[in-house]
Chain A
Amino acid sequence: MVALFSSDNSSLSFRTKLYEVNWLLPVLVGLIGLVGVAMIFAATDGIWGRGAAQHALRLCVAGAIMIGVALTDIKVWYALAYPAYLGALVLLIGVELMGVNVNGSQRWLDLGFMRVQPSEIMKPAIVLALARYYHDLPRWRVSRLSGLIGALAMIGLPMGLILHQPDLGTTLLVGATGVAIVFLAGVSWRVIGIATLMASIGIPLFIKYGLKEYQQARILTYLDASRDPSGASYHITQSKIALGSGGVSGKGFMNGTQRQGEYVPENRTDFIFTVIGEEFGLIGSLMTIGLYMSVIGLCVYLAMQCKAMFAKLLILGLMTTFTLYIFINLGMVMGLMPVVGVPLPLISYGGTVIMAVMGSFGLILSAHLHRNNEFPRGGFG
């Protein structure tokens, strides 16, 4: 047990580690979580039991897990990178075969004692795997086909499985994260150019032949709102009304009329930002975004302090995911993006996302804590 918490290279004791953990990050994360509890409280009409209490509980449990993960040696995570990825892949396949169908999509796996959403597990898992991959990969292979193949496979496989659920939002998230890590790893501009070209041809084709109708409809509605005044864009219209009517300073906590009237669907989950926007206005909205930005900025700083490629890529990759969550969700809520069903991390009500996000922060803390570790490629010993 103790061995987990100490490394070969340095003899950091448990107490030292506890002290060395960058506590600023958990504090900021906790603040965001509190915002979430308060907003869920509002979205559920001031009744604790309808979500606010559960969210708070989950945050605490996940917070404990986060610290636990943080205190674990980074080498452990390095070792678990591929197994975690494979495990997530197996779960994804499992969902394909025996997943629970909710609202027309098969995303959940019922393990009896709990339900898991494998795509949520895949998000950090793929970062771990890619970080490890590029940590191990010799530099000269990075821009070669031999190096790219592995990365593409690792990204493409889960994307395909998740798309089939169907879950367009998560698919794109995973894809974008993967591409970001590949980019950060130093792939040459030439390769980037070719890839961009292929994408600009491939994406429209993909949209036409690869997407289901309702997903196509969502994109089309987004592009031309006049096609459907009610229905698909009703959601976005109501969302914008709620946000816009908040004005500069909002209507006040618990005073949101659109929220009270239940005009914005799913305002406890994906559309929770509308509650912030309506009740706290521009000021509240910007402050929330500011909190997120601080977290991201802090993590980038932490990443730069790490020595190992694995650690850096791990943190940056996880941050990419985190940032994309935020950007896609807020973009959707503000009518800048089509509706793709991505939650706002730590603020939206939901179980698996909190675990995954907190776990990610744990990994980040762990990477930073053990930043001075240099470890060779291909494992230990």
Chain B
Amino acid sequence: MARRSKLKTNDSALEQAQAETTLSRRTAIMGLGGLGMFGVLGARLYNLQVTNAENYIALSEDNRFNYNVLLPSRGQILDRHGEALAVNIPNYRVVLIPERTPDIDKALSEVRQVIDIDERALKRIERDLKSNPKFVPITIKDNVEWEQFAALNMGIYDLPGVIPEVAEGRAYPNDGIFAHTLGYIGRAGDQDIERDEDPLLRQPTFRIGKTGVEAAADKSLRGSSGRLKVEVNAMGRIVREWPDPQDAATSGQDVFLTLDAHLQKFAAEQFGEASGGISVIDCMTGELRTLLSMPSFDANLFVNGLTQADMDRLNNDPKRPQFNKVIGGGYPPASTYKMAVMLAALESGLIDPDREIFCVGKMRLGNRTFHCWKRNGHGPVDMRESLKQSCDTYYYEISQIIGISKIADMARRLGLGQDYDIGISGETKGIVPDEAWKQARLGASWRTGDTLNASIGQGFVLASPLHLAVMTARLANGADALTPSLMIGQDITPFESLDIDPAHLAYVRDAMFSVCEEPGGTAYRIDSLGLGGPKMAGKTGTGQVRGISASERATGVRKNNEVPWELRDHSIFVGYAPFDQPRFAVGTIVEHGGSGARRAADITRAVLSEALKRDGLGPRSETNPSTETL
């Protein structure tokens, strides 16, 4: 038994015993190893479920809960009396959740039976269906009309997966009369988001103000978001909502405008189909009671989205409904500029107001002839008469003596040639020309002929209806350099002083009185305001748009109703009332309204009358006629 043979297959008893011992020992080793492994598992469990339990609980909550943004309700825009100009209305919307809709095609066709959906929208719906997860609601249609929405709700039980919703939309009642001032809201663009850190802007359905007061007062109107805690599963599907009243959204603040909605609507009626602008200012405070540009447009179109047809119609209309003429339109003020020239003359001391000048209907300057509107001339006119009858020749004469600098300076002091930052964009500064201006703008030197043109408010001079209203208000007020304001609560710096001799102002005002209330005045009417007592003061203007050639003068100047609309003169009028204690000043321009300022004057009279009536100065109230100045 010395050597083992390879053929030996049987173990001895010793070998077997050894094998058993080895096995037992090694089993014990493995057993210990196993216990060790379980120990490791147990320790790990302890670590996860005890030591770090709080962390994991927090993480599990993290998983579970999301916060959805609650959009705030937008503040309204109201007039000074609280009448609504921009309001929130229900936006009836129909959405579809694909995973809850057994048969999407059937659902869509059933919806289409009560609600109109056009081809473009259908395509968009198809796209959304393909690209979004199945639990994301797809908007079928926004801004559904109430009847269709109600009809849908009747049959909604047969349409699983289709959900009618009520969201918030914006509406502008009043037929767009306030459209230019109010502006409109729209989705925030990339630049808006860059400029403003408010995360609300990133919400796809959130709208911010884009133009007008909607934009200017957007921060107040916007409100702040709330949040809703929702429980989601791993797919992001909302499983449950956990509302908390403390997390509700804060509505935006309402914004009050200085405007008087009734008065503005009244003014719009007076305008009718005409094109132009009118501004009514409170002579004491500078508050704008009316700021109207006509024709206007329906801002509700912008809320729902314009069709191409709408766009074309608005863009191609020669009356330019989208253009805010009352603050942005620059027109030659024509004879309404003469008050500035008058005051410049008086303040300079170079002209004796009683001195008469003989008007023959024209005047030569060099090799040019400057015409007065009255063909055969006014005869002898003094300063007061020159305004009453609006003699151009008088101004041709005195402007040469005063010089354009003084005239321009006075025009500026009366509020022309600047913008007022009333809060909405689009104001034009207008033009108050002088030597420096012409040199800078046109690179040419000033000529006397320019002075003559400027003296009657033509040539380079440009002003908006707002400018004219401000000018008139300053003349009426006499002490303060009023600036217009549009929003109540806006910071108003105290007015500077006009710094004009009150006696001179009184003279000008008296001359303006004669225009309206004395026979021979270019705007004379018996009982101008139709209120029985209060009197008004004002000035007419006929803004020439086309040049009149010498040959036309020879054969006879064409009348306004003989030329196309675009070539007709602008009809301009400024006025204030009551004369003795001025309350309201108005500037009106009717584009291509024809000569004599008839249209503008009629509108202004009616609006002033209405304004006074609303302020309690009707026929029954008493006024003390007095020529005392303020």
B50 interface residue (CB < 8 Å to A): yes
**Interface segment out of the listed B35-43, B211-219, B487-495:** B35-43
Give the CA-CA distance A140 to B18 in the complex, in Å.
11
Q: Which residues of A contact B41 (CB under 8 A)?
A: 289, 327, 330-331, 334, 336
- Given A186-B19, A241-B63, A245-B56, answer yes or no on A180-B30 (Cβ-Cβ < 8 Å): yes
Binary B-proximity of A245-265 (CB < 8 A = 1, otherwise 0): 111100000000110111100
Give the CA-CA distance A103 to B59 in the complex, in Å.
30
Binary B-proximity of A155-197 (CB < 8 A = 1, otherwise 0): 0000000000000000000000000100111100000000000
- Give the contacting residue for A286; candidates B18, B45, B233; CB below 8 A: B45
Q: Which residues of B contact A180 (CB under 8 A)?
A: 30
Report the nearest B residue to A140, measured CB to CB. B4
Interface size class of A (residues with CB under 8 A): 35 or more
Q: Which residues of A contact B55 (CB under 8 A)?
A: 244
- Give the contacting residue for B235; candidates A186, A243, A262; CB below 8 A: A262
CB proximity to A under 8 Å, residues B1-37:
4, 8-11, 15-16, 18-19, 22-24, 26-27, 30-31, 34, 37
Q: Which residues of A contact B565 (CB under 8 A)?
A: none
User: Are A244 and B52 closer than 8 Å at their CB atoms?
Assistant: yes
Give the CA-CA distance A139 to B233 in the complex, in Å.
60
User: Are B38 and A289 closer than 8 Å at their CB atoms?
Assistant: yes
CB proximity to B under 8 Å, residues A250-292:
257-258, 260-263, 277, 281-282, 285-286, 289
Give the CA-CA distance A238 to B64 in the complex, in Å.
12
Q: Which residues of A contact B38 (CB under 8 A)?
A: 289, 293, 327
Report the nearest A residue to B9, measured CB to CB. A138
B44 interface residue (CB < 8 Å to A): yes
User: Are A327 and B37 closer than 8 Å at their CB atoms?
Assistant: yes
User: Are A263 and B234 closer than 8 Å at their CB atoms?
Assistant: yes
A240 interface residue (CB < 8 Å to B): yes
Q: Which residues of B contact A40 (CB under 8 A)?
A: none
- Given A140-B4, A327-B41, answer yes or no on A184-B23 (Cβ-Cβ < 8 Å): yes
A31 interface residue (CB < 8 Å to B): no
- Give the contacting residue for A260; candidates B10, B40, B49, B233; CB below 8 A: B233
Q: Which residues of B contact A140 (CB under 8 A)?
A: 4, 8, 15
User: Are A246 and B22 closer than 8 Å at their CB atoms?
Assistant: no
Q: Which residues of A contact B19 (CB under 8 A)?
A: 139, 186, 309
Q: Closest CB of chain B to A322's CB: distance in Å?
A: 10
A32 interface residue (CB < 8 Å to B): no
Give the CA-CA distance A344 to B59 in the complex, in Å.
26
A303 interface residue (CB < 8 Å to B): yes
B150 interface residue (CB < 8 Å to A): no
- Describe B's contact surface by its main secondary structure: helix
Binary A-proximity of B572-590 (CB < 8 A = 1, otherwise 0): 0000000000000000000
Q: Closest CB of chain B to A375's CB: distance in Å?
A: 13
- Given A243-B45, A261-B239, A377-B9, answer yes or no on A323-B56 (Cβ-Cβ < 8 Å): no
User: Are A247 and B63 closer than 8 Å at their CB atoms?
Assistant: no
- Given A138-B9, A244-B53, A316-B27, answer yes or no on A285-B60 (Cβ-Cβ < 8 Å): no
Q: Which residues of A contact B30 (CB under 8 A)?
A: 180, 183-184, 316, 320
Give the CA-CA distance A300 to B24 in the complex, in Å.
10
Q: Which residues of B contact A300 (CB under 8 A)?
A: 27, 31
Give the CA-CA distance A248 to B56 in the complex, in Å.
12
B46 interface residue (CB < 8 Å to A): yes
A123 interface residue (CB < 8 Å to B): no
User: Are B42 and A139 closer than 8 Å at their CB atoms?
Assistant: no
Q: Which residues of B contact A285 (CB under 8 A)?
A: 45, 49
Q: Which residues of B contact A38 (CB under 8 A)?
A: none
User: Are B27 and A303 closer than 8 Å at their CB atoms?
Assistant: yes
Q: Closest CB of chain A to B60's CB: distance in Å?
A: 4
Q: Which residues of B contact A369 (CB under 8 A)?
A: none
User: Are B9 and A263 closer than 8 Å at their CB atoms?
Assistant: no
Interface CB pairs A-B, < 8 A, 22:
A138-B8, A139-B18, A140-B15, A184-B30, A243-B48, A244-B49, A245-B53, A246-B53, A247-B53, A248-B53, A258-B60, A258-B64, A261-B64, A262-B235, A263-B63, A286-B45, A289-B45, A312-B23, A313-B23, A323-B34, A331-B41, A336-B40
Where the two chains meet, the residues of A that have a C-beta atom closer than 8 Å to any C-beta of B are: 138-140, 180, 183-186, 238, 240-248, 257-258, 260-263, 277, 281-282, 285-286, 289, 293, 296, 300, 303-304, 309, 312-313, 316, 320, 323, 327, 330-331, 334-336, 377-378
